[in-house]
Amino acid sequence: MTKRFGLSLALALSLSLGALANPVQDGYRAAAKQENAAFKDFSAAAGQKFYNAKVGELACASCHTDSPKAVGKHAKTGKEIQPLAPSVNPKRFSDAANVEKWFKRNCNDVLTRACTAQEKGDFMAYVMSVQ
């Protein structure tokens, strides 16, 4: 009985960890390792701080709201923005080219520079952790 429970627990854990894997984030993980040899992994806490950090008048939360689960609204155009959290919007972070397009645009708009692979991965770790 104990052996069976242990196997079941191991299987459940591997399945839940597998569900957390994201090929787009894996690409940023590889890039972050190239950018910084000391890189270990992404941080949801750092991603949350990044998400809420204001640069000038804007932050990610300016358009995407305080909750990545909520529908947002573009600060200038008023256009509706679908939730960022994959827990409510499973299509988020599923297409690498689309993810990169929006990071490029939004990082330049908010930070006036490109985001690093670390920042992108931390951001994704935070948004993907929101249930």
In a domain? residue 41? yes
Q: Note the pLDDT of residue 75.
A: 83
CATH value at residue 88: 1.10.760.10
In a domain? residue 75? yes
Q: Note the pLDDT of residue 58.
A: 86
Angle at 11 between CA 6 and CA 13, to 5 degrees: 95
Residue 80, strand partner residues: 73
pLDDT in tens, 79-126: 999 999 999 999 998 899 999 999 999 999 888 999 999 999 999 999
Compute the Cα dihedral for 101, 127, 19, 43 and give only its sign.
Answer: positive
Which domain range does residue 34 map to? Answer: 22-129
Count of structural domains, the chain: 1
CA distance 93 to 13: 22
In a domain? residue 5? no
- Mean pLDDT over 19-42 rounds to 89
In a domain? residue 6? no
